[in-house]
Every structure is written in C-alpha cells, then in structure tokens.
Amino acid sequence: QLQASGGGLVQAGESLQLACSASKALLSRFGVAWYRQAPGNQRELVARINNVGSATYTDWAKGRFTISRDNAKNMGYLQIMNLQPEDTAVYYCNAGPRLRPPRNEYEYWGQGTQVTVSS
C-alpha cells in the first residue's frame, strides 16, 4: 500500500516536497511516478523515476518539479518549486515493477495528498 504525504495550503511562490512511502512493498525495487488531478480535470502524469534513478518529466513539469528517490529509506519524493495557483490539485503516488498498458501506469496507487496554492 502506498501513501502520499506532504501536501498542504501554501502561498504562490513557495515550495513543497511530497513524499511517497510503501508499507510491506519494497519501493526500492519499483518505478515511481507522480500524477496530479485538479478539480474538473483528468489525472495527468507529472514525472516518473525508475528503480535506478533515471527520471522523465512531462514537458510542462520540467524546471519546477523534481522527482527523486531514496532506496535506502524506501521512499519517493516530488519537489515542487515556485508553486502557482494552477498547481492546485490532488497529487498521487504510483509505483510498481513495470508500466502496464494501456495507460503506461504502474500497478499501485496511493490515496493522494492535496496541494492548494493561494495567490
């Protein structure tokens, strides 16, 4: 089971670090991805990182978002810099041994953590 944490209410321009932890599963063996879903919008991929630390980002996420992992701590992270109101969304952690069709998502999902950015 995955759990995302670290969200909250912040002012525009501030930063947050979201964390993804896994009970039982060894997250160090999995790829980890972060998605977000704003009200009224579809869930969208932010970034992925594989089990050896190679990261990819959706184009709009390049520059302000940094995905990382600490295999020794069995944790994944998403750092968000210079938060803007349009970043307001529920952020979800997604992890698993491989990407699965048809949407290239991992098998396991966390419950999400709310990020709200005020202007």
pLDDT, tens only, 46-86: 999 999 999 999 999 999 999 999 998 889 999 999 999 99
Count of Cβ atoms closer than 10 Å to residue 61 Cβ: 20
What pLDDT, on a 0 to 100 scale, did the predictor assign at position 26? 79
Task: Give 17's pLDDT tier (boundaries 50, 70, 90).
Answer: very high
Residue 8's pLDDT is: 97
Give the whole-angstrom CA distance, residue 29 versus residue 71: 8
Amino acid at 69: R
Mean pLDDT of 4-28: 92
Distance separating alpha carbons of residues 31 and 51, to the nearest angstrom: 5
Residues paired with residue 113 on neighbouring β-strands, in sequence order: 91
Confidence band, pLDDT 50/70/90 cuts, at residue 27: confident
CA distance 91 to 27: 18
Confidence of residue 107 (pLDDT cuts 50, 70, 90): very high
End-to-end Cα distance, the chain: 34
